[in-house]
Amino acid sequence: MLSRTATASLSVSAVSPNPLKKSLFFFHNSKFLGFNNHLASNPLLNFARLAWNGNKTSRRTESFRAMASAQPLADADALIDSVETFIFDCDGVIWKGDKLISGVPETLDLLRSKGKRLVFVTNNSTKSRKQYGKKFETLGLSVSEEEIFASSFAAAAYLKSIDFPKDKKVYVIGEDGILKELELAGIQYLGGPEDGDKKIELKPGFLMEHDHDVGAVVVGFDRYFNYYKIQYATLCIRENPGCLFIATNRDAVTHLTDAQEWAGGGSMNGAISGSTQREPIVVGKPSTFMMDYLSNKFGIQKSQICMVGDRLDTDILFGQNGGCKTLLVLSGVTTLEMLKSPNNAIQPDFYTNKISDFLSLKTATV
């Protein structure tokens, strides 16, 4: 099989062999250096841009080298037998909105019966792992909390991995999932949904106050996004020395319902990037942070993982950046036309209509 792993993937794992602790020493040892007014010359900011802005960088590097076209999945058994672990995206793969995609329960049962480890990774930060566990249960799926990794959890795990100071706080643009994961991690926070109703009364001489103990701003999908939050986050990032700007994801769209696509977390992050002229540290897909975390937690060799997702620029790039096999399903965002477009440089190893094709695709004749 021709490897499609990004040859110049720029992530924390490329900097150090231990991405969870040692590779993040730069953040830990040079905490809060104060790069608010000296963006171009600050090494911490440059490192963050280099290491975590994998989405833009990887797509640039992909365009410089020839890529074999993705192959339709003809031999599901061979793919299943070639790996130990399947990582599934959720929105567009397992469900759309609150509706389960057909054939999913039977497919997961099949893979478990073959002794495969199943992990579910989502860029949606609105829920905590525990809350996602309840959603799986509501949809009739038996999935443990230990098998679920949401970008809300990734944000808290990242802050813990860099030894975020206990006397510092996190300002949250996002929903309940981020707050719950930060609380479980023992990290102080403010903001979140309760700031959704706050307004700014613009009058002569008005100056908006902000908490100078905020050491990080975490931005995720937020249905209650408003100008108050934009200004508060902007003040923290620009005026608090060394304040980190962390994005749970940069997804352009999301599936709030199964009827249409909705503006995703990337729109919230885009607003903060625009006002601060800063690029965020991305902890969700396609950043390799969650992949490295999972690999270390479960002791999985990345070559023994297959990443299954419906997005090219997050799910498939996530798998490629991590050195995994990749399978694109056409049940979500990406269509066959988009995959085969000459403008698309991201090619998975295989593609198929939906994950239940595992049930019908038998060993092909060689």
**Would you name the residues annotated as active-site residues?**
84
The DSSP annotation for 230-292 comes to HHHHHHHHHHSTT-EEEES---SEE-SSSSS-EE-HHHHHHHHHHHHT---EE-STTSSHHHH
**Burial class of 166 by CB neighbour count within 10 A (0 to 12, 13 to 18, 19+):** exposed
The DSSP annotation for 306-358 comes to EEEES-IIIIIHHHHHTT-EEEEETTSS--HHHHH-TT-----SEEES-TTHH
The length of the chain in residues reads 366
Q: How far is CA 209 from CA 141, 206, 236, in A?
A: 46, 10, 10
- The sheet with strand 188-191 has its strands ordered as 188-191, 169-173, 214-219, 244-247, 281-282
3-state secondary structure of 111: helix
3-state secondary structure of 215: strand
Parallel, antiparallel, or unpaired: how do β-strands 188-191 and 95-96 relate? Answer: unpaired
Backbone φ and ψ of 242, nearest 5°:
75, 10
Q: Please, which residues have CB within 8 angstroms of residue 13's CB and are 6 or more apart in sequence?
A: 19, 23, 288, 291, 292, 322
